Copies of this chain bind each other. A is one copy, B any other.
């Protein structure tokens, strides 16, 4: 991976902190979880980064706000995933803020192997879910589509 600069996402696609907090409240109530300082800080970090964030990179940079040990950070990020406000990107061992926080679960992530940029595009829900339903015995919890390749900027 050449560098860690990420292109800013159009503001229209970025969830405002307000929207995110509204979702957080709703989902915390539903799930019997709590909205805490650590989680809010973790969310802020993901939104600022505007791209994938790796746990141990956070540890080595000195982000203030109390997220100082691996376990703490993993817990905060996993909570955000549970609340539907972040993705875990398994192929990168990283977390990223969700843009489409109010849409269906299935999401398509385009991962550029050159520059590390990740684009979250509108979920291809119908086609995918149809394909999965064809396998009728399988009850889907989450669908993560991580497509790897090379983004336009890197090929230019």
Interface of A is mostly: mixed
For A90, A128, A131, A151, which residue has the most chain B Cβ atoms within 10 angstroms?
A131
Copies per complex? Answer: 2
- Residue-wise interface mask of A (100-144) relative to B, using a CB-CB cutoff of 8 A (1 in contact, 0 not): 000000001010110000010110101110111011111111111
Q: Which residue of B lies closest to A123 (CB)?
A: B131
Q: How many residues of A contact B (CB 8 A)?
A: 37
Task: Determine if B139 and A155 form an interchain contact, defined as CB atoms under 8 angstroms apart.
Answer: yes
Alpha-carbon distance A147/B136, docked complex (angstroms) = 14
A108 touches B131 (CB 8 A): yes
Which residues of chain B are near A119, meaning CB under 8 Å?
135, 138
A146 on interface, CB distance cutoff 8 Å: yes
CB atoms of B131 and A121 under 8 A apart: yes
Task: Write 11 A-B pairs (CB below 8 A) sorted by A numbering.
Answer: A91-B144, A108-B128, A110-B135, A110-B138, A119-B135, A121-B135, A124-B130, A132-B147, A137-B152, A140-B147, A144-B146
